[in-house]
A and B are shown apart, each in its own frame.
Chain A
Amino acid sequence: LAARSSRLIAMLLAMVILQLGSVVAPDPAWASGLAVALDKSVAAPGDTIQFTALQFRPPCEPAAAALTFDATCPPVPETVETVDCQVAWDEVPLDAPTLCTLKESVTESATESVIEWLLSGSFSVPNDATTRKTYVVTVCQPACSDVFRGALLSGQARLRIEESPVLVPDVVGLLADPDALQRLTVLGLTMVLSPPGADPSSARVVEQKPTAGTPVVPPSSVTLTVTPLIRVPNIVDELLPEARRKVEDAGLILDATGDPTGRIGTQDPAPGTLVDPETTVTVTLTVAASPPPVPPVSPSPVPPASPSPVPSASPPATNAAPTADPSGPAAQAPNATPVALTSFASPLALWLIVILAAGAAGLSLRWKRRERKSRHAMRQRVRAVAHDPLPSQVRVEEIDHGRTHSVRLEPHADRGHQQTQEVPA
């Protein structure tokens, strides 16, 4: 009865292990004597992993001989003990020695064919473990029966290494690009805009999913619900009706103070500022301008009509000019000078125009070339993101083209075949 109940306990323990461990190594574990289970199937470098290993002693013939333990080997413990074991990481033993705690032991009489007991311990994931890779963790423990004396019982489990989770930052209220985008990309997260197609450089984040503080594993995407922003038009120096039309056409509200017949003197927010829809643009109007004053008449350069035969030491009378008729030659003087200059400066102006046009054309070409280069650089921005939990599933995003492809790889291992032939001496 005792033997049966201990066997039942062992079976129950095995079932518990299978439930605890997310990953139980397939055939090798059972076949070689240890069934290894890890407390998590996905971990980050530096994490501590708890493992349990249920050990089986395969039956031997004759059973009694197989279960007679050598005097040099420790007896099968009946209580909690610590025994040697070792954990290897993709076949490389971990540096720190590992002690397995023998938590439970279930032994059977020497005539029974199976012995089972439970080991447990822990190890640390090496800090240099490669992320997005699945490692094989091997737990070994020396066997000590006369048949398997000196042999190592081992079991394996698989552990996938992913990046450490990061906390999603709070980006609500920020401009999607560059403010929110920078905060996300620095953590290895990607941004998805809602509605899709919104211009991130003129949109403000009003909601985010996952919310701030949620732990996620990069590369994950954060969906940002955005509202488009409006660029404030430049209305300085405009008359009020024209300014009002421009502001309201843009979806903003105009609040004007001052002389309604005047022109816009100042505006707040400044031209070019990005604001939410229906934001009020406050302007002050200057006093309406009066008709331009008559320019003062300058002394006539024209010499007196009747030249004095004798040069006069005294200057000519200047009081005659101010009293002259405004429609006379003095009033036309302002026009006379530009006319005179045009004929003189036209070649110079022509040259200036030519130089400016050439400069503008050069700048335009340079700008276009830079833009082309920038577009080319943008085409290079391709992101390949592995899907969880299928490492063979890859999503390829061409960011600036908005194209996403799902690429799935199916590696097929081949067990192959072996042939043996003797080689003549």
Chain B
Amino acid sequence: MSIEDTGMEWSARAFLFPSSAGEPVATLAATLDGQGVIGKTVAKSLPGKFSRVAATAVAQEVHEAADGLLSVDLIDLMVGGWRTYAALTSAAERTLARPGSEEVVDVVTHRVTSKQQPYVDLFVDGVHVGTVHLELTAVFTVHALVALVMQGYLRGVRGGICDLDVTLSAEGITVASRHDQLDLRMARHFRRPIPLLGVSPTDAPQPAKPSAMSAQNAGQIPASPS
């Protein structure tokens, strides 16, 4: 048995910069900061003893660090929103209360808004000299979704069209923005059971030793990949 995977990437990076899929990080970093917002912020932060070329080298490192923050999985963000959506969580509770039962939930059109504000602190010779602030906003408008819920888990989706708007800004200036419509059936995420209860979107499941594996966290799939 092999993994059935469409090979589609669902990271914020892949969505915002679809043409740079598979390119090295350095290229992505250059794409990411096409307007030079990050470069200017770094140059402003660095002390005068840095030459222009040295400042460019540091900015490149910041680009790579910022690029790493875009690995967040968009589907996980959307599922994080579903964990707060009563239509799904109540179905999950009902199926958990009645072992062996399952529910097919016809989900009305709804909107999940996710906002993240990562940042990169810059230290020179041990002294904090500046911070580059980023903001990633994703708005999912989901239509025509039918969800299969079993034993507290989302076991699959039928249909499901998602209008997705993702915006990335640095220092308050929008550096990338994109809108697209996605077919949620293509997401491999739904081929695995996804817990709808007991995991808040901001809670990271803690590493557990084998013996500590308990009923509470068993079977949980993380909301976002590390």
Seen from chain A, the residues whose Cβ lies within 8 Å of a Cβ on chain B are: 10-11, 14, 24-33, 35, 54, 56, 58-62, 65, 84, 86, 88, 91-93, 97, 113-114, 116, 130, 133, 136, 140, 142, 147-148, 150-152, 154, 156, 379-380, 382-384, 392, 394, 396, 398, 401, 403, 405-423, 425
Contact = CB atoms under 8 A, between A and B. Distances in A.
B58 A11 contact: no
A387 to B, nearest CB: 11
A196 B84 CA distance: 62
Given A408-B123, A411-B118, A418 B113 contact: yes
Given A11-B211, A54-B210, A61 B151 contact: yes
Contacts of B125: 405-406
A30 B208 contact: yes
B112 A418 contact: yes
A28 B225 contact: yes
Nearest to B212: A30
Given A410-B120, A418-B113, A30 B207 contact: yes
B81 A409 contact: no
B193 A148 contact: yes
A422 B221 contact: no
Nearest to A408: B123
Among all A-B residue pairs, the 4 with the closest Cβ atoms: A58-B218, A416-B116, A418-B81, A58-B219
Contact of A414 (B116, B141, B204): B116
Contact of B58 (A33, A151, A396, A414): A396
Contacts of B24: 130
Contact of A416 (B82, B115, B193, B220): B115
A382 B109 contact: no
10 contacts: A25-B226, A28-B226, A31-B208, A32-B222, A156-B226, A396-B54, A407-B58, A408-B123, A416-B77, A423-B141
B23 to A, nearest CB: 10
Given A88-B3, A416-B116, A416-B117, A406 B226 contact: no
Contacts of A54: 210
Given A65-B100, A130-B24, A415-B202, A420 B112 contact: yes
A113 B57 CA distance: 54
Contacts of B211: 11, 14
Interface stretch (B29-37, B61-69, B166-174, B175-183): B61-69
A384 B62 CA distance: 12
A80 B25 CA distance: 41
A151 B225 contact: no
Nearest to A140: B3
Contact of A413 (B69, B115, B205, B209): B69
Contacts of A152: 3, 191-192
B209 A136 contact: no
Interface residues on B, range: 35 or more
Contacts of B210: 10-11, 14, 30, 35, 54, 56, 116
Given A61-B151, A380-B53, A420 B81 contact: yes
Given A382-B57, A417-B114, 15 more contacts: A26-B226, A27-B206, A27-B208, A30-B217, A151-B193, A382-B51, A394-B57, A398-B54, A403-B49, A411-B65, A412-B118, A412-B120, A416-B77, A418-B112, A420-B84
A415 B61 contact: no
B192 A418 contact: no
A371 to B, nearest CB: 19
Contacts of B206: 27
Contacts of A415: 116, 201-202, 204, 224
Nearest to A422: B110
A10 B218 CA distance: 17
A353 to B, nearest CB: 44
A27 B51 contact: no
Given A28-B222, A410-B121, A97 B54 contact: no
A264 B121 CA distance: 68
A25 B81 CA distance: 25
